[in-house]
Amino acid sequence: MTIIVKKPAAKVAPNLADYSAALAAFSWDAARRSLDGLPGGAGLNIAHEAVDRHAQGPRAAHLALRCLGKNGMVRDFTYRNLAVETSRFANVLAGLGVQPGERVFVLAGRIPELYIAVLGALKQRCVVSPLFSAFGPEPIHTRFALGSGSVLVTSESLYQRKVAGLRERLPQLKHVLLVSESSNPAGVPGTLDLVTLMRDANPDFTIGPTDPEDRALLHFTSGTTGKPKGAVHVHQAVVAHHITGRLALDFHPDDVFWCTADPGWVTGTSYGIISPLTNGITSIVDEGDFDAERWYRILAEQKVSVWYTAPTAVRMMMKGGAELARRHAFPQLRFIASVGEPLNPQAVLWGRDAFGLPIHDNWWQTETGGIMIANYPAMDIKPGSMGKPLPGVEAAVVKRAGDNAVEVITAPNIEGELALKRGWPSMFRGYLNEDERYRKCFAGEWYLTGDLAKRDTDGYFWFVGRADDVIKSSGHLIGPFEVESALMEHPAVSEAGVIGKPDPVQLETVKAFVALKPGFEANEALRRDLLGFARKQLGAAVAPKEIDFVANLPKTRSGKIMRRLLKARELGLPEGDTSMLESGT
């Protein structure tokens, strides 16, 4: 029986108050008109919509970014401040001869210079690619080589540890701009001091004509094997960034928003940089690594009203229990959302226990550029569901019916591949230098996501698993997420990952890998208890036949459990691309 969590009493009227009415009234043309466009009809530029239009209007003095440093330092930027700093950076690039269309890579922790560089490069109409600062030298080299990066913005320590040894292998890299970490920076051969360049740069910059289809962002997404894929997004994506912030995350003018994602992941760019700024609200940026107590303090002390995080973080906070959250008061917090890996039902309910608010799951991909399916504040939640499509997004469950055709499944609760009809502005425009791979993502007007899902009688979509994750056992198709969610209902389990293990009789059997909460000991008695618990919850055909205990599950930095890596390790197969792997897993 499906649990339904009734929508909590709203502290402010939701932007999307009536889903059916919003669907009927919405158009992407109207969404585009909610943005300014460049002066004089010169096109559409992300940085203008995120920064300059506010800096030239009534929100000029409004706080745009509050950056919390690891050392306790707080740096605040109003929209006017941010306009000046990003214009300086755009002039730095122009002064170096960096042309529109060139690729600027940013390798840094969550420091102000990262955000300034991304937005300043967009002003200069460069293509920007933020990278995880935790990447090692080889993943950095792979992405630079694929993306033909000509400019790198990074810190002195990251450069010395991870990039300096690559310079001979990166002939296209013309300029390295270093963020100094001391008051008396030493000159590093082959680099330029960004502080000096910024100090001498003109604070005024006029953004040149920008076609909405001009390339703007390059995000790398992990490939199953071989090299990562470079998904290309254009300036027109800002229309989706802006409107999904209003509709899916319910931004209001006085909100204080915290997106915990690193901009090296698409969420950290789309919703950690662009969307809150286009909506003119205040964003909290935390340089520090995850620490539950610190996060609770930030939510309370910074008076966060809208919080966007990942299932991994939620599950790590769950380990400490709701009592830790209850030591703090969060009177301003009114909306919590999560993305990265489907949110287990227990996590949705835990949010209500810890914060008095359910956690609203939503779904999208690097390729979609923005939120496509969501649980909205004015809508009841079915824990475990992805929610309903955004206005302007047509989603369907389909069955492939040939090389370039699909059959739409109209009956409810039938599993198939999740597909989206072309036409939303943030849809990726290609995989860099891989045209054939891009074409294979589409069947006619439908983008095929590679995710399996089903749609219930109320129009809610439910994630089943990646097409290559689904387990085929004795004629049954088993979604690993369903098994993982059932295991997480056991009081000892903090996380679970499930794979199909080859079997000569059943084709595959279900095997689970389980991480335990503090205070529980991995032993044979607990293993038997978990096997019996899962069998009772799921039935014999679906329940795991084997359970292994692990300290940590392998996850990407965006929070997705890497089931293919669990399977490769179990079977002794090549692990493929592991550059997106979270450290320590």
* Of 128, 195, 133, nearest in space to 163 by CA: 133
Q: Are strands 335-338 and 306-309 parallel, antiparallel or unpaired?
A: parallel
DSSP annotation string for 383-443: TTEEEEEPTT--EEEEEE-STT-EEE--STT--EEEEEES--TT---EETT-HHHHHTTEE
SS3 86: helix
282 φ, ψ to 5°? -95, 130
Residue 395 CA from chain centroid, whole number:
20
* Of 579, 581, 582, 585, nearest in space to 228 by CA: 579
SS3 8: coil
CATH number attached to the domain at 469-571: 3.30.300.30
* Of 357, 355, 343, nearest in space to 488 by CA: 343
CATH number attached to the domain at 19-455: 3.40.50.12780
- Looking at residue 457, the DSSP 8-state letter turns out to be T
Residue 579 is predicted with a pLDDT of 63
- Write out the two tokens for 515: 């991480």
Going residue by residue through the chain, which has 585 residues, state the pLDDT in tens, using 9 for 90 and above: 577 888 777 889 999 999 999 999 999 999 999 999 999 999 999 999 999 999 999 999 999 999 999 989 999 999 999 999 999 999 999 999 999 999 999 999 999 999 999 999 999 999 999 998 888 888 888 889 999 999 999 999 999 999 999 999 999 999 999 998 765 556 788 999 999 999 999 999 999 999 999 999 999 986 544 578 899 999 999 999 999 999 999 999 999 999 999 998 899 999 999 999 999 999 999 999 889 999 999 999 999 999 999 887 898 898 888 888 999 999 999 999 999 877 888 888 899 999 999 999 999 999 999 999 999 999 999 998 999 999 999 999 999 987 788 999 999 999 999 999 999 999 999 999 999 999 999 999 999 999 999 999 999 999 887 777 778 776 566 778 778 888 988 999 999 999 999 887 777 899 999 999 999 999 999 999 999 999 888 878 788 999 999 998 988 766 678 888 898 898 888 776 666 666 555
Taking the C-alpha atoms of residue 456 and residue 547, their distance in angstroms, rounded to an integer, is 31
**Helices 311-319 and 345-355, axial angle in degrees (round to 10):** 60
- The H-or-E segment that residue 461 falls in is strand 461-466
* Residues in CB range of 393: below 8 A, 6 or more apart: 372, 373, 420, 421, 424
| All CATH 3.30.300.30 domain ranges in the chain, comma separated | 469-571
Q: What is the 3-state secondary structure (H, E, C) of 306-375?
A: EEEECHHHHHHHHHCCHHHHHCCCCCCCCEEEECCCCCCHHHHHHHHHHHCCCEEEEECCCCCCCCCEEC
| All CATH 3.40.50.12780 domain ranges in the chain, comma separated | 19-455
Taking the C-alpha atoms of residue 261 and residue 504, their distance in angstroms, rounded to an integer, is 42
CA distances to 71, 244, 451, 482, 486 from 475, rounded to whole Å, are 57, 40, 20, 17, 21
Residue 65 is predicted with a pLDDT of 98
- Write out the two tokens for 38: 């460049």
The dihedral through the CA atoms of 352, 337, 330, 252 has a sign that is: negative
Residue 162, phi-psi category: left (phi > 0), alpha (psi -120 to 50), beta (remainder): alpha
SS3 547: strand
Q: Which amino acid is at 534?
A: A
Taking the C-alpha atoms of residue 376 and residue 36, their distance in angstroms, rounded to an integer, is 26
Taking the C-alpha atoms of residue 452 and residue 332, their distance in angstroms, rounded to an integer, is 37
This prediction's pTM = 0.85
Beta-bridge mates of residue 463: 453
Residue 215 is predicted with a pLDDT of 98
Residue 132 is predicted with a pLDDT of 85
Residue 408 is predicted with a pLDDT of 96
How many helices (H) does the chain have, and how many strands (E)?
Answer: 20, 28
Residue 346 is predicted with a pLDDT of 86
